[in-house]
Amino acid sequence: MGRPKGARSPDYDRKRTELIDRLTDHALSSDIHRASLRELAAAAGVSVPTLRHYFADREGAVSVVMRRIADRGRPFIAFVASPSGSFRDSVRGYLELSRAGMEHGGFARAHAFGIVEGSGSEPLGSAYLASLLEPSLMALQTRLEAHVASGEMRPCDTRAAAIALFAPLMVLMLHQQILGGQSTHPIDLGGFVDQIAEGFITAYAANGTSATPPSRARS
């Protein structure tokens, strides 16, 4: 006896999860572009009708990929939102972790994927904002608010401060990793992190909090 019309198969959720993982792996490893529904289906190893069955349309498929990328990035978001050490160490720790994500992780591709997809579609723009960009900014804002509360960081609009710290990384990421600047106009990432860190610390350190870096050997 067949299933009633519209009823899902017993393994529907498992198959859908497998497809989401395949699409996500593809999004984080392939060239950044707005893939067609047919390309997405090929990447998932299924037909276009099958992809429509599980996600309705292209926007449905891409939006769940953004949510899956966000799920994979939860440990990073949790780390960013939980400061440890001094204001100086916290700022540098955030920047160094983000730098590592650019060089060895999926930080660059995740945001580039969201920007490319979100720029061409209002629903996907909202999905990128909700799944990836806002959580990144809110976690950083939470970290900075802890330092304001401890008296190490001067009172300020912590959201604006979070954007001021995040934005240079975003531009660097796009320039070096996505647009090919690493080959044509390479940037010393260590020096970049040093400059952004010291500028931010000097601008936002509370009165009486040292903004002078301890002596250390440059790597």
- Distance between first and last Cα of the chain: 70
Whether the Cβ atoms of residue 51 and residue 37 lie closer than 8 Å to each other: yes
Considering Cα of 19, then 23, then 28, then 29, what sign does the dihedral take? positive
Judged by phi (left if over 0) then psi (alpha if -120 to 50, else beta), residue 88 lies in alpha
- The string of pLDDT tens digits covering residues 167-209 is 998 898 888 888 889 899 998 988 999 999 999 999 999 986 5
Nearest Cα neighbor of 106 from 66, 47, 78 is 66
164: pLDDT strictly greater than 90: yes
**What's the pLDDT at 211?**
52
Confidence class for position 213, pLDDT limits 50, 70, 90:
low
Q: Where are the domains of the chain?
A: 12-68, 73-204
pTM for this model (two decimals): 0.86
Give the three-class secondary structure for 194: helix
* CATH architecture for the domain at 73-204: Orthogonal Bundle (1.10)
Helix 87-104 to helix 74-81 angle (10° resolution) is 160
Residue 170 or residue 146, greater confidence:
146
Distance set, CA 146 to CA 31, 85, 212 (Å)? 38, 11, 21
d(CA 109, CA 26): 11
Select 12-68's CATH number: 1.10.10, 1.20.1280, 1.20.120, 2.60.120.
Answer: 1.10.10
**What's the pLDDT at 215?**
43
